[in-house]
Amino acid sequence: MERFFEDYQKRRLTDRVDILTAINILKSQGYEDDELIREITRVFYVDLDAYNEVVSRAAA
């Protein structure tokens, strides 16, 4: 996911559905679980509490 954004161009991800959608897109592009947070924060401002909740529910 070679995209470079200025911080002011980043969209906020706070809704759990949007976070899950972004995770699923990254996984479909071949990103591993340990690479997800790095890649998603390159493109978005992410609510990390919501991200952790989504990831923990997906792992359960």
Cα–Cα separations (whole angstroms), residue 55 to 2, 3, 8 = 23, 23, 26
Query: Is position 1 within any domain?
Result: no
Query: Is position 51 within any domain?
Result: yes
Query: Is position 21 within any domain?
Result: yes
Q: Is residue 5 pLDDT above 60, yes or no?
A: no
Instruction: Give residue 30's domain range.
Output: 7-59
Q: Is residue 4 pLDDT above 90, yes or no?
A: no
Give the tens place of pLDDT for each residue, 9-55. 788 999 999 999 999 999 999 999 899 999 999 989 999 999 999 99
User: What pLDDT does 10 receive?
Assistant: 84
User: What pLDDT does 22 receive?
Assistant: 94
Q: Tell me how far apart the alpha carbons of residues 53 and 1 are, in angstroms, rounded to a whole number.
A: 24
Query: Is position 2 within any domain?
Result: no
Q: Structurally, how many domains does the chain consist of?
A: 1
Predicted TM-score (pTM) of this structure: 0.80
